[in-house]
């Protein structure tokens, strides 16, 4: 049944809701309990996991290009800091997970979301500088202007930064990075990369 | 007047079609339409997707001399000025090229088309799938040959499908004109200029749902019934063409993919 595949277009009937669950690219119409496709692509039927209480197979539509990724709460993003203010820093989201975004999205990291401990002692200017590349998690859709981002985890924070001399700095502690050219030490909210 | 009648006009403009074709004599059933169609026959339709490389999705449609191109961008960040919303936004713009109409620059007086396109499409798009962001739909009428808005709507739904925007169904749209006692399907510009009334039906064919119905002019109830019947019939035929367009592109892709593998 897994090899059963064909090209479908939006609005095509994929089956009855009593027989199938709607996966990605499909939806159930509450009027007639029918599963329709909502995307163009290849129809695939996935068997349910053996221990699941719902034994209906899932039908999904994939294969054709989907629209560009958009941030959603919980997704890990790579962003470039554009502006650092006393209570927040704004950043342009560049990647969502491993995918680059097609369109620009702006996010803000608020003072209380920079790190998990001693959050009352955080200084924004000692955590980020404009141009830093940070890894962050999307907290929420935020307000009308921006997504709310957080770096309050060990593996989140600055992953790449340039020193005043223009060299890529090397992290030397949780809060410090050093310039390989001048030996100057700058303050950052450093992310734990790898390991 | 005398200057206009001169043999060599200073700028190019297409000669008005009324002078070339035989004059319309409506009311006579044996007479065919200026382009030799039956009353309930559509113009040959042609669709193509993926025509604008810079857009997330795009489509070109060509119904006789009506030619439109629609590009879809996004979902992308909403403008700073708008309020926060849990669902996505749709932003539609219909514009005419300067050379779309027989008289240059005449197409700009279709301001209401943008909002009508928006209303026709928004019911078919699953806006919940892209919260807080905006999808922009830009339609450009390259040549106005009658039934412009229905062609734009159908073409836009194809472009949205090409962009991978989740939709409940494809949207197709057809118009009929009331000319005397006849109903003409898919009217040309010339027929539209003689019409007593027009009916534009926009529907989701496989769901049997109407997203928009616009009726202008004089109509009797039986006429509206007949007109809607003709339109729904034509819509389901167009949806077949649009589906095969989407699939044709995909099957070509599939072949390429399998060659690479």
C-alpha triplet B105, B111, B115: angle, nearest 5°: 145
The residue count of chain B comes to 261
- B95 bridge partner residues: B140
State the CATH number of the domain containing residue A146.
2.40.50.140
What's the mean pLDDT in B200-214?
93
Distance (Å, whole) CA B92 – CA B13: 29
Residue A84 sits in the same domain as residue A179: yes
Q: What is the pLDDT of residue B259?
A: 38
State the CATH number of the domain containing residue A31.
2.40.50.100
Q: What is the pLDDT of residue B198?
A: 93
* Of the partner residues A38, A103, A145, the one whose CB lies closest to the CB of residue B80: A145
Per-residue pLDDT of chain A (195 residues; tens, 9 = 90+): 444 568 899 999 999 999 999 998 999 998 889 999 999 989 989 888 888 788 889 999 986 777 778 898 999 999 999 999 999 999 999 999 888 888 889 999 999 999 999 989 999 999 999 999 999 999 999 888 899 999 999 999 999 999 989 999 999 999 999 999 999 999 999 999 876
Residue A119 sits in the same domain as residue A35: no
Q: How far is CA A59 from CA A20, A56, B142, B244, in A?
A: 6, 9, 40, 22
Nearest residue of A to residue B249, measured between CA atoms: A64
User: Does B5 or B175 have the greater pLDDT score?
Assistant: B175
* Of the partner residues B76, B82, B164, the one whose CB lies closest to the CB of residue A144: B82
How many Å lie between the alpha carbon of B185 and the closest alpha carbon of chain A? 25
Pair A139, A149: CB distance under 8 Å: yes
* Of the partner residues B74, B77, B131, the one whose CB lies closest to the CB of residue A106: B77
> Would residue A121 count as lying in a domain?
yes
Residue A59 sits in the same domain as residue A82: no
Domain B31-260: CATH architecture, name and number where available: 2-Layer Sandwich (3.30)
> Would residue A98 count as lying in a domain?
yes
Report how far Cα B228 is from the mean position of its chain's Cα atoms: 17
Residue A36 sits in the same domain as residue A106: no
Is A92 touching B (CB cutoff 8 A)?
no
Q: What is the pLDDT of residue A4?
A: 53
Residues of A in contact with B239 (CB under 8 A): 11
Q: Which residues contact A102 (CB under 8 A, 6 or more apart)?
A: A68, A69, B56, B76
> Would residue A195 count as lying in a domain?
no
Residue A88 sits in the same domain as residue A173: yes
Q: Do B130 and A70 touch (CB under 8 A)?
A: yes
The conformational region for residue B4 under phi > 0 = left, psi -120 to 50 = alpha, else beta, is alpha
Is A99 touching B (CB cutoff 8 A)?
no
Here the tokens at position A1 are: 């049944």
> Would residue A162 count as lying in a domain?
yes
Residue A152 sits in the same domain as residue A80: yes
Residue A109 sits in the same domain as residue A160: yes
Q: Do B207 and A25 touch (CB under 8 A)?
A: no
Q: Do B80 and A144 touch (CB under 8 A)?
A: yes
pLDDT digits (tens, 9 = 90+) for B215-259: 999 899 999 999 999 999 999 999 999 999 998 754 444 443 333
> Would residue A138 count as lying in a domain?
yes
Nearest residue of A to residue B157, measured between CA atoms: A10
Q: What is the pLDDT of residue A50?
A: 83
Residue A57 sits in the same domain as residue A142: no
Q: Is the pLDDT of residue B20 over 50?
A: no
> Would residue A172 count as lying in a domain?
yes
Mean pLDDT of chain B: 84
Interface predicted TM-score (ipTM):
0.85
How many Å lie between the alpha carbon of B195 and the closest alpha carbon of chain A? 34
**Residue A153 is part of which domain span?**
76-187
Domain total in chain A: 2
Q: How confident is the model at residue B88 (pLDDT cuts 50, 70, 90)?
A: very high
C-alpha triplet A158, A164, A167: angle, nearest 5°: 70
Residue A161 sits in the same domain as residue A110: yes
> The tokens 């992308």 sit on which residue?
B76
Q: Do B77 and A103 touch (CB under 8 A)?
A: yes
DSSP A161-175: -B-TTSPBPEE-SSS
Q: Do B207 and A29 touch (CB under 8 A)?
A: yes
Q: What is the pLDDT of residue B15?
A: 54
Q: What share of chain A is helix, strand, coil (3-state, %, to 5)?
A: 5, 45, 50
């Amino acid at each position: 049944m897994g090899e059963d595949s064909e090209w479908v277009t939006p609005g095509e009937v994929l089956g009855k809701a009593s027989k199938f669950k709607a996966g990605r690219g499909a939806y159930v119409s509450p009027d007639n309990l029918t599963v329709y496709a909502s995307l163009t692509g290849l129809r695939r039927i996935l068997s349910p996991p053996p221990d699941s209480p719902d034994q209906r197979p899932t039908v999904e539509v994939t294969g054709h290009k989907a629209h560009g990724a958009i941030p959603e709460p919980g997704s890990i993003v790579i962003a470039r800091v554009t502006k650092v203010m006393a209570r927040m820093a704004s950043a342009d989201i560049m990647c969502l997970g491993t995918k680059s975004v097609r369109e620009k999205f702006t996010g803000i990291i608020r003072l209380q979301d920079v790190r998990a401990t001693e959050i009352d002692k955080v200084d924004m200017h000692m955590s980020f500088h404009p141009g830093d590349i940070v890894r962050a998690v999307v907290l929420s859709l935020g307000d009308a202007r921006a997504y709310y981002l957080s770096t309050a985890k060990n593996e989140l924070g600055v992953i790449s930064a340039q020193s005043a001399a223009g060299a890529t700095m090397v992290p030397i502690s949780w809060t410090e990075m050093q310039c390989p050219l001048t030996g100057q030490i700058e303050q950052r909210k450093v992310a734990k990369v790898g390991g | 007047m005398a200057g206009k009648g001169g043999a060599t006009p200073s700028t190019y403009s297409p000669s008005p079609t009324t002078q070339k074709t035989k004059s319309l004599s409506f009311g006579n059933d044996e007479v065919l339409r200026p382009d030799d169609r039956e009353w309930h026959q559509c113009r040959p339709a042609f669709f193509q997707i993926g025509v604008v490389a810079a857009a997330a999705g795009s489509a070109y449609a060509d119904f006789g001399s009506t030619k439109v191109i629609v590009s879809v961008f996004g979902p992308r960040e909403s403008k700073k000025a708008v309020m926060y919303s849990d669902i996505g936004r749709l932003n539609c713009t219909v514009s005419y090229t300067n050379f779309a109409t027989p008289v240059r620059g005449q197409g700009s007086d279709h301001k209401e088309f943008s909002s009508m396109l928006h209303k026709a499409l928004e019911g078919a798009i699953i806006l919940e799938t892209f919260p807080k962001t905006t999808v922009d739909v830009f339609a450009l009428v390259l040549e106005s040959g009658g039934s412009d808005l229905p062609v734009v709507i159908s073409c836009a739904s194809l472009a949205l499908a090409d962009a991978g925007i989740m939709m409940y169904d494809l949207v197709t749209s057809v118009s009929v004109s009331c000319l005397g006692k006849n109903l003409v399907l898919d009217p040309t510009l010339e027929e539209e200029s003689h019409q007593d009334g027009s009916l534009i039906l926009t529907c989701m064919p496989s769901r049997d749902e109407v997203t928009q119905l616009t009726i202008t002019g004089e109509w009797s109830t039986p006429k509206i019934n007949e007109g809607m019947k003709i339109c729904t019939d034509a819509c389901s035929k167009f949806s077949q063409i649009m589906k095969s367009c989407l699939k044709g592109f995909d099957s070509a892709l599939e072949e390429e993919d399998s060659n690479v593998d």
